[in-house]
């Protein structure tokens, strides 16, 4: 075992370094993502401007799909830092510290510092979790509170009896906040985990006792806003929020048109767990204990719940990753203690692929897609140095050092090349929307969009109170919009040839159009 194992201060510094690289260095380096980031952040910006913190509005209309906690957090960040990409994402990143801290403390208490270090690093460098928990969407907030509720419940198995009630209380508090973040999933996952664990470990008396003070606390947090909305907008709130976006959304995919097979999230986890997916080759070597069993119950509860839902998006499965991280950490610990040739070969192959991609992609981004990022060459040098030592450590069988270097390499990769990847993606259309929104903002024009889909980049970056999106075929509407003065009309390029219009400002995917007979 390498000397680094015994240096706790050094390992804590590695954790902080990995967190900063993964989460903080690139928060401001790319525009908000269309559609979800721009949609929700614009709603928060409008909430701040109107000082109406109860009723949600999207593009000038009532929005009853989600509860308000995310938007309150965004408003608080905007008041402190001003409105920007950084301030929009900052509260999400800060919330991600909550499950990370609880997970580290719990693992440290049960299995020791090394296990806690490995588990926390695995979670921070898991591909999907690291990418999603630093963008401004509701699923990140839901995941932080939902996971924190479950982890607080886990603590009740391992603390002294006199302290159990405080962790039960925390579990219900976080559960209430999770419901305020995104509704029903906020309590289904914690309640499902508690219910199944209570039966398996026969803790009926303790669980029933917790309900006496837990349910009132939960209701005190989760109910007031819902009651206010039901009283203020009784018909539309029930129809939209409760029936359409909770009941129908779970039963079928028609609400958001995301019809995926039952195994969708299994496939998602295969790539979402990169670079740790291959560690499951050593799953047969681990011995289950109470702590691992609890995490397995939580992971399966999360997987089954979202797999049964009719509507599926990759971001929904986010709460599963902390629980899987514990299981992967157990496999890593076994591998560190006892060599596994299959894992060693898989690590060598996977990291060789990652190193090749990490070193080649920036050149593709910069010279093919013309995307630039300051200090990229310095980052490439750092990636090359770390990757050289990483691959040599794998070959030399320095297993713990390999884990640390893989974590640092992947954190450096996520922190430096995430902006490149997003900006490459934006070059296929979103950059057009950003450019047109800027034109409208600078010239104080209004915007209307025909057959573009609902693109909230236009709304957020133009600072307009409302934009007209018309996605159904309507020649009369198009003709009227073309006559408007001081208005930008945007259409997808592939549809332009079907209408009597010409291009005024061409983009890659979208263009500003005008009438054929228009003369300036």
Give the span between the Cα atoms of 345 and 108, in whole angstroms: 30
| Cβ 203 vs Cβ 158: under 8 Å | no
Question: What is the per-residue DSSP string for 94-158?
Answer: HHHHHHHHHHHHHHHHHH-HHHHHHHHHHHHT-HHHHHHTTSS-HHHHHHHHHHHHHHHHHHTTT
Q: What angle do CA 18, 23, 28 make, to 5 degrees?
A: 140
User: What SS3 state is found at 514?
Assistant: strand
Q: What angle do CA 88, 459, 436 make, to 5 degrees?
A: 110
| Cβ 241 vs Cβ 225: under 8 Å | no
User: What SS3 state is found at 415?
Assistant: helix
| Cβ 374 vs Cβ 29: under 8 Å | no
C-alpha dihedral (360, 366, 370, 374), degrees to nearest 10: 150
Q: Which is it for strands 446-450 and 468-470: parallel, antiparallel or unpaired?
A: parallel
Name the pTM for this structure: 0.94
Give the span between the Cα atoms of 93 and 241, in whole angstroms: 27
Tell which residue, 382, 457, 456, 461, has the closest CA to residue 417: 382
Q: Which residue has the tokens 């510092």?
A: 113
Tokens found for residue 462 = 């133009």
Find the largest Cα–Cα distance for the chain: 81
Tokens found for residue 138 = 């509701």
369: phi then psi, degrees, rounded to nearest 5: -100, 0
| Cβ 468 vs Cβ 489: under 8 Å | no
What is the H or E stretch that residue 488 is in? strand 487-492
Tell which residue, 205, 206, 202, has the closest CA to residue 171: 206
| Cβ 67 vs Cβ 181: under 8 Å | yes
Q: Sign of torsion, CA 311 313 318 323?
A: positive
Please, is 290 exposed, middle or buried when counting C-beta atoms within 10 Å of its C-beta (0-12, 13-18, 19+)? middle
| Cβ 387 vs Cβ 351: under 8 Å | yes
* Residues 6+ positions from 171 with CB-CB distance below 8 Å: 149, 150, 152, 153, 156, 190, 194, 210, 214
The pLDDT profile of the chain, 520 residues, written as one tens digit per residue, is 455 556 888 999 999 999 999 999 888 889 999 989 999 999 999 999 999 999 999 999 999 989 999 999 999 999 999 999 999 999 999 999 999 999 999 999 999 999 999 999 999 999 999 999 999 999 999 999 999 999 999 999 999 999 999 999 999 999 999 999 998 889 999 999 999 999 999 999 999 999 999 999 999 999 999 999 999 998 888 888 888 877 776 666 555 556 788 899 999 999 999 999 999 999 998 889 999 999 999 999 999 999 988 778 899 999 999 999 999 999 999 999 998 999 999 999 999 999 999 999 998 988 888 887 777 788 889 999 999 999 999 999 999 999 999 999 999 999 988 888 999 999 999 999 999 999 999 999 999 999 999 999 999 999 999 999 999 999 999 999 999 999 999 999 999 988 989 999 999 999 999 988 754 4
Give the span between the Cα atoms of 35 and 32, in whole angstroms: 9
> What is the tally of helices (H) and strands (E) in the chain?
22, 7
Q: Which is it for strands 446-450 and 57-58: parallel, antiparallel or unpaired?
A: unpaired
Q: Where are any strands of DSSP class E within 269-380?
A: none
CA 303 vs CA 152, 267, 268: distances in Å? 20, 12, 11
Query: pLDDT at position 48, please?
Result: 95
C-alpha dihedral (129, 133, 138, 144), degrees to nearest 10: 80
Please, is 123 exposed, middle or buried when counting C-beta atoms within 10 Å of its C-beta (0-12, 13-18, 19+)? buried
| Cβ 32 vs Cβ 88: under 8 Å | yes
Tokens found for residue 10 = 């050094």
| Cβ 513 vs Cβ 496: under 8 Å | yes
């Amino acid at each position: 075992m390498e000397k680094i194992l015994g240096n706790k201060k050094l390992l804590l510094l590695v954790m902080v370094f990995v967190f900063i690289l993964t989460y903080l260095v690139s928060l401001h380096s790319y525009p908000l993502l269309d559609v979800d980031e721009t949609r929700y952040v614009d709603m928060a910006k409008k909430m701040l401007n109107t000082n109406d913190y109860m009723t949600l509005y999207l593009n000038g209309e009532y929005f009853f799909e989600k509860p308000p906690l995310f938007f309150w957090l965004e408003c608080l960040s905007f008041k402190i830092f001003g409105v920007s990409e950084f301030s929009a994402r900052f509260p999400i990143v800060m919330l991600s510290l909550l499950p990370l801290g609880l997970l580290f403390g719990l693992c440290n208490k049960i299995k020791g510092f090394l296990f806690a270090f490995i588990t926390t690093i695995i979670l921070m460098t898991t591909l999907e979790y690291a990418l999603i928990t630093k963008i401004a969407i509701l699923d990140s907030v839901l995941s932080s509170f939902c996971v924190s509720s479950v982890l607080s419940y886990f603590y009740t198995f391992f603390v002294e009896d006199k302290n159990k009630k405080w962790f039960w209380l925390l579990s219900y508090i976080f559960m209430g906040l999770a419901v305020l973040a995104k509704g029903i999933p906020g309590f289904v996952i914690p309640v499902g985990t508690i219910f199944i664990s209570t039966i398996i470990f026969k803790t009926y008396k303790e669980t029933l006792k917790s309900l006496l003070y837990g349910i009132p606390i939960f209701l005190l947090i989760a109910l007031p806003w819902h009651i206010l909305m039901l009283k203020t907008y009784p018909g539309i709130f029930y129809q939209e929020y409760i029936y359409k976006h909770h009941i129908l959304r779970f039963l079928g995919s028609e609400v958001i048109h995301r019809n995926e097979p039952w195994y969708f999230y299994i496939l998602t986890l295969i790539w979402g767990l990169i670079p740790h997916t291959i560690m499951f080759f050593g799953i047969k070597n681990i011995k289950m204990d109470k702590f691992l069993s609890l995490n397995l119950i939580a992971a399966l509860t999360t997987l089954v719940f979202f797999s049964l839902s009719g509507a599926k998006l990759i971001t929904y499965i986010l709460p599963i990753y902390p629980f899987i991280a514990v299981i992967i950490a157990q496999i890593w610990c076994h591998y560190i203690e006892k060599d596994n040739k299959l894992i060693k070969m898989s690590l060598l192959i996977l990291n060789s692929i990652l190193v090749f991609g990490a070193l080649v992609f920036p050149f593709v981004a910069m010279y093919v897609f013309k995307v630039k990022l300051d200090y990229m060459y310095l980052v490439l040098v750092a990636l090359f140095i770390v990757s050289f030592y990483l691959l040599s450590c794998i070959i030399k069988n320095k297993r713990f050092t390999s884990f640390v270097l893989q974590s640092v390499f992947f954190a450096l990769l996520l922190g430096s090349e995430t902006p490149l990847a997003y900006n490459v993606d934006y070059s296929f259309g979103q950059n057009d929307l950003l450019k047109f929104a800027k034109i409208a903002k600078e010239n104080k024009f209004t915007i209307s969009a025909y057959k573009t889909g609902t693109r909230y980049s236009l709304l957020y970056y133009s600072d307009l109170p409302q934009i007209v999106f018309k996605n159904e075929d309507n020649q009369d509407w198009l003709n009227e919009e073309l006559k408007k003065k001081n208005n930008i009309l945007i259409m997808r390029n592939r549809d332009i040839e079907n209408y009597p219009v010409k291009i005024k400002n061409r983009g890659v995917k979208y263009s500003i159009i005008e009438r054929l007979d228009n003369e300036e």
